[in-house]
Amino acid sequence: MHRYFLGVDLGSTTSKAIIVDEEGKITGRGITNTRANYSVAAEIAKMEAIYNARFYILKKNLETDLSWKSEYHQFIRDIENVFQYLQFKIRLDELNKLLLSNAGSYFQIKVRSSLLQHLMQILPSLETKIKNEFLQNQLGLQNQFFRDVVTGIYNELVAEKDKTLFEPLMNVFDKSITPVENEILQVDFKIMVNQAMDILQKKYKSLPDNISGDTSMRFDAELNLLKGNYEKVSDTLRDHINRVADYELHISNMTGTGYGRALLPFPEDCIRSEILCHAYGAHAIFPETRTVLDIGGQDTKAIQVDKHGLVTSFQMNDRCAAGCGRYLGYIADEMGVPVNELGPMALQATKEVQICSTCTVFAGAELRELTNLGEKREDILGGLHKAIIMRAMSLIARSGGVFNEFTFTGGVARNKAVIKYLTALVKENYGDTIKINIHTDSIFMGALGGALFARRASELAHKMVPVE
Amino acid sequence: MSNKKPEVQKEKSMLLQKEMIAGLFKDLSTAKEKGKKVVYTFVPGNITELILSFDMLPVYPEINALQSGMRKKSWEYIKEAEKIGYSEDVCTYVKCDIGMMLKGNIGPTDEKIPDPDLLLLSYTGCFTFMKWFENLERLYPGVPVAMLHTPYQEDGKITPGMVDYMVKQLKEDVIPKMEKVSGKKYDEARLSYMLEKSALSEDLLVKVLESAKLKPSPIDAYFAGVYYIGPIFTAFRGTTQAVDYYSELYKEIQERISLKQGPITPEGELKEEKYRLVVEGPPNWTNFREFWKIFYDMGAVIVASSYTKVGGVYDMGFRHDPKNPLESLSRYCMGCYTNMNIPQRVELLCHYIKEYSADGFLINSIKSCNSFSAGQLLMMREIEQRMGVSVGFIESDLVDPRYFSYANIKNRLESYFQMLEQRKLILQ
């Protein structure tokens, strides 16, 4: 039996899970938004990583076929999307029930019936929109977390309604979303994947004869292939999927890390500091790394590692979390744009307006003032992103500087504008020869380090068993 | 888990020290009625024997501040100082001390500390001290001030010229002022007799501190160390009481050594010594127990610290010399830890890491304390490179509870201890 290892990184904004196999290779990834109930966040991230690992194993089993049957790629990608939608659907049904129940007991008795009427109109649209977004791959830059997706669409639908009911509609939503989000779903992988395939069969059947649109050439080609071929592909896949669904994915050890690690339902010896995990994860992917910068939701960490991936020293922001992920979140709220759009907007900057990065709240005030003075949003955002890195540079210097290869990890490493300024400032301060690594899994580095710690602990324990 | 607070174990030496302190504050509270003169002065570079030789009583504002911190009174005092204009960035010892004076100057034994008869600015390595005493001068108008300028060891050595300069100040300014305030003549024989006692206590203290070279260490040279240095760094150096205290303390430690026992913590003996650390910087006083607990819960023992050298680096050989009393007092003032230049400090800390077989080096940086914090990052880098040990850096404050973030400090220390653990595990 193959053994797998789990790492869970409970961050202040997102909870991540990674599963690695015996060779330390990433096989599954799961991510969700951190919520008041840490155990639920950890469990959801873990379950997602397990589902993701099953899809990974499926793709691995089909490696030969996938190399020459490109329609399989599209089908599996679609299954993963619909599988996620079906999980959303369970939660959405719960949310619908709770919304109606909370509306029925709303404290202002006179608005109850009109509130219910509005909800009866909103809820079917909410469901249809979410289904379409998943089935047509329209989620785009949005975070695919239940709360974010549902809140975004609900708000849009509420905005179209009678303004007098705005507050009651938002109140019942706020009251309903949290308990629904905090429920752990019991999902049967096999049943749900088969359901997803059934839904997709219908989708492919109803495709027009020739697909072309604003999607990529490869995507169109794959869909065209599927249009005439989906039944055959589906039959072949179903066998494989059933086998993968029955496969016992044995997690033989796990490690919890991150800001909320002490609250994870893990044994004490399975808890590791996020400093060590980020460094170990970064070192596993880029072994020549000697300096790691991690910008997470509330922490910025500058870490020095040795050739073994062992941390030799670190510095963290103290007393203030300005310049971290939540700073960007706050700015996004102030500007009324999704946080994921900040980076692309900042990349359009023609200059960087100087912004103070010592306080998140003051930066918000500065932002409004600069807007009043006529500065362009892009230029303000350019300045903000630069300010974040200027702050991080001070921590890097405190930790001893940049050596050899430099790896940037954490959720903020997905922001292209942050990368732009970081690259410029690291090279300016530590030389052009410094290699800067940013992995597509940068947000998962802590969880990866955790999973690798779990793997190493297991290996060491096995070595300690006396040979009979 | 029981909610009952663990009973703090107290040894005979601790009780002895408690009695000594209670006696001092009692004497201070009755000083005015008994006609005793009171001198306010500082711990680093203190010339306690000289004060005592005039039968005057010393008061140490930093000690009052740290005790207020431990007694959870400091915030109340700091608030008073801020109300009259002291900024957030000013050393919190100063604000706590000034605030305490404004609130009636009630000491740790709830007895009033008398107003000073002499302000003896005995150490100038920390510029804040000078400003502190300027403020005390305003608080106590008319009280004479004696300033003993202590040259900094900029070149890493004490030259004969520096000694002469200090002796001259003692002879021409400090002693005459003490004679005037106390109404007594300078008695060099008495001072020499006291310095003999000082050297005896110093010998014993060094033995106590050096016991941490053993494995397991029988003492924690930082958290318990701050209690061990109490009598010798303050009002008791040069007294028989101090010699008795250190004899008792050393006896207890010898017993611990013979039983191969670890250090005593507030929750009893530390059973397993996992990590041996050298620590730089003063501890946090407002959350002293919580701070200590993070260490002993992780099995970390501090085997040497720079803070316990702030009132004298005796383990490097210095002893008060009864044959050359004023010269010896001068050398003592200039030899204190915070009067050493950065390369000297690095040298000393590297020596500790080696001699005490430390696994790591940790800095508790106090943002408002210039004399300790300046150069700490540079020192850390240098020590890391030279000694190849894991280094850690945390930040807190002396006595302002607003700047002690338990969660942040615990998070960093946990990471640091795990660093040490992994290093041991993998490199072995």
Query: So what's the pLDDT on residue B206?
Result: 98
Rounded to 5°, the CA angle B283-B284-B287 comes to 135
Give the other-Cβ count within 10 Å of A466's Cβ: 4
Give the other-Cβ count within 10 Å of B403's Cβ: 19
A362/B312: higher pLDDT: B312
**Listed residue (A246, A305, A215, A222) closest to A57, CA to CA:** A246
CB B322 within 8 A of CB B193: yes
Q: Is residue A468 pLDDT above 50, yes or no? A: no
Task: Identify the CATH number of the domain in which residue B170 sits.
Answer: 3.40.50.11890
Tell me if B116 is assigned to some domain. yes
Domain count, chain B: 1
Chain A closest-CA separation from residue B86 CA (Å): 21
Contacts of B363 (CB under 8 A, 6+ apart): B279, B280, B281, B376, B379, B380, B391, B392, B393, B394
CA–CA separation, B420 and B126 (whole Å): 34
Tell me if B285 is assigned to some domain. no
CB A35 within 8 A of CB A12: no
Three-state DSSP class for A347?
Answer: helix
Give the residue numbers spanning the domain of B182.
24-189
**Listed residue (A262, A260, A255, A298) closest to A280, CA to CA:** A255
Tell me if B7 is assigned to some domain. no
Q: Which of B395, B405, B426 sits opposite A308 (nearest CB)?
A: B426
Query: So what's the pLDDT on residue B143?
Result: 96
Interface probe for A, chosen from B416, B419, B427 (most Cβ of A below 10 Å), is B419
- Sheet containing B390-396: which strands, arranged edge to edge? B300-305, B275-280, B360-366, B390-396
Query: Cα A31 from chain centroid?
Result: 5
CB B209 within 8 A of CB B228: yes
Q: Is residue A119 pLDDT above 60, yes or no? A: yes
Q: Is residue A161 pLDDT above 90, yes or no? A: no
Q: Is residue A250 pLDDT above 50, yes or no? A: yes
- Sheet containing B38-40: which strands, arranged edge to edge? B57-59, B38-40, B118-121, B145-147
Average pLDDT over residues A32-54: 90
Q: Is residue A253 pLDDT above 50, yes or no? A: yes
Q: Which of A276, A312, A315 sits opposite B418 (nearest CB)?
A: A276
Average pLDDT over residues A66-85: 79
Query: So what's the pLDDT on residue A214?
Result: 46
DSSP string, B65-112: HHHHHHTT-HHHHHHHHHHTT--TTS-HHHHHHHHHHHTT-B-TTSSB
- Cβ pair B415:A312 closer than 8 A: no
Query: So what's the pLDDT on residue A465?
Result: 41
Between chain A and chain B, the number of residue pairs with CB atoms below 8 A apart is: 55
Give the pLDDT confidence of A388-426 residue by residue, as tens digits.
899 899 999 989 899 899 999 998 998 999 999 999 999
B401/A163: higher pLDDT: B401
- Residues of B whose CB is below 8 A from A273: 411, 414-415, 418-419
Burial letters for B9-42: b for 16+ Cβ neighbours within 10 Å, e otherwise? eeeebbebbeebbeebbebbbebeeeebbbbbbb
Interface probe for B, chosen from A314, A403, A464 (most Cβ of B below 10 Å), is A314
Query: So what's the pLDDT on residue A218?
Result: 46
Contacts of A184 (CB under 8 A, 6+ apart): A40, A43, A44, A47
Query: So what's the pLDDT on residue A333?
Result: 86
User: Any idea which of A171-185, A319-333, B157-171 has the lowest mean pLDDT?
Assistant: A319-333
Please give the CATH topology (third level) of the domain spanning A287-438.
Nucleotidyltransferase; domain 5 (3.30.420)
**Listed residue (B283, B324, B235, B280) closest to B70, CA to CA:** B283
Tell me if B82 is assigned to some domain. yes
Q: Is residue A209 pLDDT above 60, yes or no? A: no
Average pLDDT over residues A92-107: 93
What are the CA-CA distances from residue B96 to residues B47, B107, B132, B281 (Å)? Answer: 23, 12, 11, 19
- Residues of A whose CB is below 8 A from B381: 400
H runs (alpha helix) in A62-188: 63-68, 70-104, 112-135, 146-159, 166-181
Residue B174 amino acid letter:
V
Q: Is the peptide bond before B216 cis (omega within 30 degrees of 0)?
A: yes
CA–CA separation, A370 and B56 (whole Å): 64
CA–CA separation, B373 and A344 (whole Å): 41
Contacts of B182 (CB under 8 A, 6+ apart): B37, B54, B55, B56
DSSP string, B342-400: HHHHHHHHHHHHHHTT-SEEEEEEETT-HHHHTTHHHHHHHHHHHH--EEEEEEE-SS-
Query: So what's the pLDDT on residue A217?
Result: 44
User: Any idea which of A41-55, A154-168, B21-35, B71-85 has the lowest mean pLDDT?
Assistant: A154-168
Q: Is residue B3 pLDDT above 80, yes or no? A: no
Tell me if B324 is assigned to some domain. no
Q: Is residue B59 pLDDT above 90, yes or no? A: yes
Phi, psi angle pair for B254, to nearest 5°: -60, -35
Q: Is residue B61 pLDDT above 90, yes or no? A: yes
A178/B428: higher pLDDT: A178
- Residues of B whose CB is below 8 A from A313: 380, 384, 390-393
Residue B371 amino acid letter:
S
CB A437 within 8 A of CB A289: yes
Question: What is the C-alpha radius of gyration for chain B, rounded to an integer number of angstroms?
Answer: 21
Q: Is residue A232 pLDDT above 80, yes or no? A: no
Domain boundaries, chain A: 287-438
- Cβ pair A310:B392 closer than 8 A: no
Contacts of B174 (CB under 8 A, 6+ apart): B47, B50, B120, B146, B148
Give the other-Cβ count within 10 Å of A413's Cβ: 24
- Cβ pair A273:B415 closer than 8 A: yes
Chain A closest-CA separation from residue B416 CA (Å): 8
Give the other-Cβ count within 10 Å of A357's Cβ: 24
| Residue B392: closest C-alpha in chain A | A313
CA–CA separation, A304 and A278 (whole Å): 11
Tell me if B309 is assigned to some domain. no
Query: So what's the pLDDT on residue B5?
Result: 58
DSSP secondary structure letter of residue B172: I
CB A245 within 8 A of CB A230: no
- Cβ pair B415:A276 closer than 8 A: yes
H runs (alpha helix) in B141-262: 160-169, 175-182, 188-210, 225-228, 230-233, 240-258
Q: Which of B377, B393, B418 sits opposite A273 (nearest CB)?
A: B418
Tell me if B320 is assigned to some domain. no
Question: What is the C-alpha radius of gyration for chain A, rounded to an integer number of angstroms?
Answer: 24
Three-state DSSP class for A182?
Answer: coil
Confidence of residue A450 (pLDDT cuts 50, 70, 90): very high
